[in-house]
Amino acid sequence: MTRAVPSIIALCLLALVIAPLVAVALRGAGVSLGPADWAAVRFTVTQAVLSALISTVLAIPVARALARRRFFGRGALVTLMGAPFLLPAVVAVLGLLAVFGRSGLLNSGLAALGLPPVSIFGLQGVLLAHVFLNLPLAVRMILQGWLAIPAERFRLAQSLGFGPAQMLRHLEAPMLREVVPGVALVILVICLTSFAVVLTLGGGPAATTIELAIYQAVRFDFDLARAAGLAGVQVVICALAALAAWVLMRPAGFGAGLDRQAQIPAPGGWRSMADGATLAAATLFLILPLLAVALRGVPGLADLPPSVLPAALRSVLVALASATLTSAAALALALAVARKPSVLAGAAATLPLATSGLVLGTGLFLIVQPFTPPMTVALPVTILVNMALTLPYLYRILLPQARALRSDYGRLADSLGLQGWSRLRWLILPRLARPLGFGAGIAAALSMGDLGAIALFAGERQATLPLVVQQLTGAYRLEAASAASLVLVTLSFALFWACDAGGRRAAA
């Protein structure tokens, strides 16, 4: 691979992110935001902080129970904890409506008991959806903290006669102090840019986020200066949160052990019952909405709205194109950084974390709008935005493997004169196929379920499947929306499985 290629890719990526931000800054300069806009800013921060706190606090007992209990189906439950990360947000919202909505299971039960119904719309609905989507992520991250405690520490504690309280004080609490702030900040950053959830469950003056206000300013008011001003505020808030997360995300300081699997003591009695109840409640909370979508959607599969299949085809094409571009760019940057640390490549793979699909979409809308109707470039813009937003994930998956490859085979390949396409074919792809396939699967699934820039650009003929699902939900055609959601979920997980399995097969 030519040494200049990674630099060219990094410059193109930086231009893709910086040019929209500059367009936003120029258009939004001097714009005075009104009281409703500042209310949206306050609601954005409030719901993100509350979502992060609730998700993280609830995740601690779930992760602790998973860390110290061994039972049939534990592996499946841990796998289930990864599913919501790939689940399109519009599908999650639809599932929550089926359980907690006006005619959902919860309110039907309350009505049978003669109690008043509860509403899922507003702040409480936004928090519920964000906890549903982010609780599994928090559990997985905190669980890694527990598993990172060397097994020797637990054995030493047992030999000293430590009980559960002493274990908590001397081993678990220090780990939580190291891990939990970073976990909360990661979820905070995710919730700051939430759009699909708030579009369906929020809205109105009391429950509007910055992302939703940007969407309304572009699509309904066509007030591009106000949208740019809001996007500028969003970038500042996200950048500060991302910087704080980067500073606070660090491994727990327990030192290295002998790389043995930790056998965390599992106390019996009421603690065992509490762990069981915690895991059962978490499992029901995650599974019930998904089952509700499936049960409600299956009858509608035979009578899908005409717009679903063309939208599904567009979504698949967008996801494949985005995943291909993301994989190529992330691989080039990771190999370049593994060979020699590069500030340029690192910046290109990090800067997108400070933005969102709506912010980049607004900037690109401002750039293309004077030259062509934005809807004519809706799909290419969506591909580019999805590539920019998913690249940081894939880059961080590939970088450790690329460094190990460089350390193990770099000198030998150099001495053999293995360069360019031959090096890529015979050395890099066979050994990086597994993480490359896994990362491409994540990029494809995330792109498949994205509802960001496409909401700003698309007309009826450019709508992707998540946008069609949101439109059907907004029109209260819930059975049709559930059927379309089933198609969306199936395609998302099929793309992830195909990429991941392809990578594993190529590595075998």
Q: What mean pLDDT do residues 466-483 have?
A: 86
- Please report whether residue 408 resides in a domain: yes
Residue 319 neighbours by CB distance under 10 Å = 28
Confidence of residue 69 (pLDDT cuts 50, 70, 90): confident
Residues 131, 279: one domain?
A: yes
Confidence of residue 164 (pLDDT cuts 50, 70, 90): confident
Residue 66 neighbours by CB distance under 10 Å = 24
Residues 473, 339: one domain?
A: yes
Cα–Cα distance measured from residue 427 to residue 1, given in angstroms and rounded to the nearest whole number: 12
- First vs last C-alpha separation in the chain: 24
Q: How far is CA 127 from CA 30, 50, 81, 284, 450, in A?
A: 33, 7, 18, 18, 20
Evaluate the CA torsion angle 454, 460, 461, 466 in order and state its sign. Answer: positive
Question: What would the pLDDT profile of 390-402 be if each residue is shown by its tens digit?
Answer: 998 888 888 888 8
Least confident of 164-168, 183-187, 358-362, 466-470: 164-168
Query: What pLDDT does residue 366 have?
Result: 87
Residues 172, 278: one domain?
A: yes
Residues 131, 188: one domain?
A: yes
Query: What pLDDT does residue 384 have?
Result: 93
Query: What pLDDT does residue 460 have?
Result: 76
Residues 9, 58: one domain?
A: no
Q: What mean pLDDT do residues 119-128 have?
A: 91
Residues 49, 162: one domain?
A: yes
Q: What is the CATH number of the domain that holds 162?
A: 1.10.3720.10
Phi, psi for residue 71 in degrees, rounded to 5: -155, 165
Residues 273, 368: one domain?
A: no
- Please report whether residue 455 resides in a domain: yes
- Please report whether residue 41 resides in a domain: yes
On whether the CB atoms of residues 141 and 179 are closer than 8 A, the answer is: yes
Query: What pLDDT does residue 296 have?
Result: 83
On whether the CB atoms of residues 149 and 229 are closer than 8 A, the answer is: no
Residues 24, 44: one domain?
A: no
Query: What pLDDT does residue 487 have?
Result: 92
What's the whole-model pTM score?
0.82
**Does residue 229 carry a pLDDT above 90?**
no
- Please report whether residue 465 resides in a domain: yes
If you compute the radius of gyration of the chain from its CA atoms, what whole number of angstroms results?
A: 24
The count of domains in the chain is 2
Residues 95, 164: one domain?
A: yes
Position 379, amino acid: L
Confidence of residue 114 (pLDDT cuts 50, 70, 90): confident
Cα–Cα distance measured from residue 307 to residue 297, given in angstroms and rounded to the nearest whole number: 16
> How far from the centroid of its chain's Cα atoms is residue 217's Cα?
25
Q: How far is CA 426 from CA 177, 226, 338, 408, 503, in A?
A: 45, 53, 18, 15, 15
Confidence of residue 262 (pLDDT cuts 50, 70, 90): low
Q: Of 293, 312, 344, which one is at a domain's C-terminal end?
A: 293
> How far from the centroid of its chain's Cα atoms is residue 360's Cα?
17
Residues 25, 37: one domain?
A: no
Residues 318, 414: one domain?
A: yes
Query: What pLDDT does residue 223 have?
Result: 83
- Please report whether residue 244 resides in a domain: no
- Residue that has been written with the tokens 């959607």 in this structure: 297
Average model confidence (pLDDT) for the chain?
A: 85
Cα–Cα distance measured from residue 98 to residue 482, given in angstroms and rounded to the nearest whole number: 9
Q: What share of the chain is helix, strand, coil (3-state, %, to 5)?
A: 80, 0, 20
- Please report whether residue 440 resides in a domain: yes
Cα–Cα distance measured from residue 484 to residue 355, given in angstroms and rounded to the nearest whole number: 29
> How far from the centroid of its chain's Cα atoms is residue 445's Cα?
10
Supply the range of the domain harboring residue 54: 32-210+266-293
Confidence of residue 250 (pLDDT cuts 50, 70, 90): low
Cα–Cα distance measured from residue 179 to residue 31, given in angstroms and rounded to the nearest whole number: 40
Q: Of 293, 328, 343, which one is at a domain's C-terminal end?
A: 293
Query: What pLDDT does residue 254 have?
Result: 53
Residues 288, 371: one domain?
A: no
Question: What would the pLDDT profile of 433-457 be if each residue is shown by its tens digit?
Answer: 888 998 899 899 989 988 878 888 8
Q: Of 293, 328, 354, which one is at a domain's C-terminal end?
A: 293
For residue 417, what are its two tokens?
A: 């004169």
On whether the CB atoms of residues 438 and 499 are closer than 8 A, the answer is: yes
Cα–Cα distance measured from residue 44 to residue 47, given in angstroms and rounded to the nearest whole number: 6
Cα–Cα distance measured from residue 449 to residue 470, given in angstroms and rounded to the nearest whole number: 11
Question: What would the pLDDT profile of 12-28 be if each residue is shown by its tens digit?
Answer: 999 998 998 888 888 87
- Please report whether residue 45 resides in a domain: yes
- Residue that has been written with the tokens 């594993």 in this structure: 504
Listed in sequence order, the DSSP H helices in 29-122 are 35-68, 74-80, 83-86, 89-100, 105-112
Query: What pLDDT does residue 475 have?
Result: 84
- Please report whether residue 227 resides in a domain: no
DSSP-assigned letters across all residues of 278-306: HHHHHHHHHHHHHHHHHHHHGGGGGG--T
